[in-house]
Amino acid sequence: MPAVALLVGSLFVEPVRVESTSMEPTLLSGDHLLVDDHAYRDASPRRGDLVVFEGSGATLVKRVVAVAGDTVAIEDGVLEVNGRAVEEPAVDPRTVDGMYYGPARVPAGTVFVLGDNRRHSVDSRQFGPVPVTKVTGRVILRWWPRPGRP
């Protein structure tokens, strides 16, 4: 999709199309999103944010699950941040059973991102924490779902 930025009120937004199944069921392949390009100009991503960043020559959309200084682990499919289990309503527990990762500390200036569809997501478990400087925006709206999606 060509790089197009729109000024809506005081927001700079960019349309982004989801190209993978890594964020199902939250986002489906083919969904169109509006991304706030200036969301992190004066702030850092927070746990739970859906962020857009450039990785491996592609635009990726993932969920921030841990921020700088946090310790992240996955124990038998359960995400733990700083030793506490995180409730993840968008993650199907049947698909993450038996999954393990870490623990790993998130370095300064980075965020740890995961796809909601853990079995089919390439994310920080493979490519490591994402530098905040590589995060290009925060998803603010799914504005054009794929056909057949409610």
Out of 20, 29, 62, 124, pick the active-site residue: 62
Give the separation between CA 128 and CA 119, rounded to whole angstroms.
Answer: 17
Q: Are strands 32-36 and 135-144 parallel, antiparallel or unpaired?
A: antiparallel
Contact 62, 50 (CB under 8 A): yes
Does 20 participate in catalysis according to the annotation? no
User: Structure tokens of 105?
Assistant: 């500390």
Out of 10, 22, 121, 134, pick the active-site residue: 22
SS3 content of the chain, % helix, strand, coil (to 5): 10, 45, 50
Does 62 participate in catalysis according to the annotation? yes
Q: Under DSSP, is residue 93 helix (H, G, I), strand (E, B) or coil? A: helix
What residues act catalytically?
Answer: 22, 62
